[in-house]
Amino acid sequence: MLLSRVWVSGHAGQATYKLYVCKSFGHTGRVTTREPRLEIEYCTQCRWLLRAGWTAQELLTTFTTELGEVALIPGTGGVFDVHLGGELVWSRKERGGFPELTELKQLVRDRIAPERDLGHSDRR
């Protein structure tokens, strides 16, 4: 089934509605995304789903009201990238490893809630 995004209808609160048309059957549907959207792209060949899931869980637990949604995106080739609102926050290949959770939380916080105190995650 091929989907094609044909129209963005607008915003309601933090939700963005997107209209999709199925090219195979001609059906239309509406998909809701919430902003800000954090995406974790992980390598399926390396079996990093659990690491991505754990990272997502930690970020959702810390930023319960600030994050609109978190998406896990399967990839290949050793990828472990974190994007927030389309902006690259962390790349395993560029930085030479996985993020320490404390540092990743600080990077996310600086973008979505700079005034927020992270408690023990802010102390070094």
Q: Which residue from 50, 36, 111 is spatially nearest to 80, judged by alpha carbons?
A: 50
Q: Are residue 28 and residue 42 in the same domain, yes or no? A: no
Q: Are residue 70 and residue 111 in the same domain, yes or no? A: yes
State the residue range of the domain holding 88. Answer: 37-121
pLDDT, tens digit, 9 for 90 and up, residues 57-105 = 999 999 999 999 999 999 999 999 999 999 999 999 999 999 999 999 9
Q: According to DSSP H, which parts of the chain are helical? A: 49-62, 92-95, 101-112
40 within 8 A of 52, measured Cβ to Cβ: yes
Report pTM: 0.75
How far is Cα 78 from Cα 70, in angstroms, rounded to an integer?
A: 20
Q: Are residue 7 and residue 67 in the same domain, yes or no? A: no
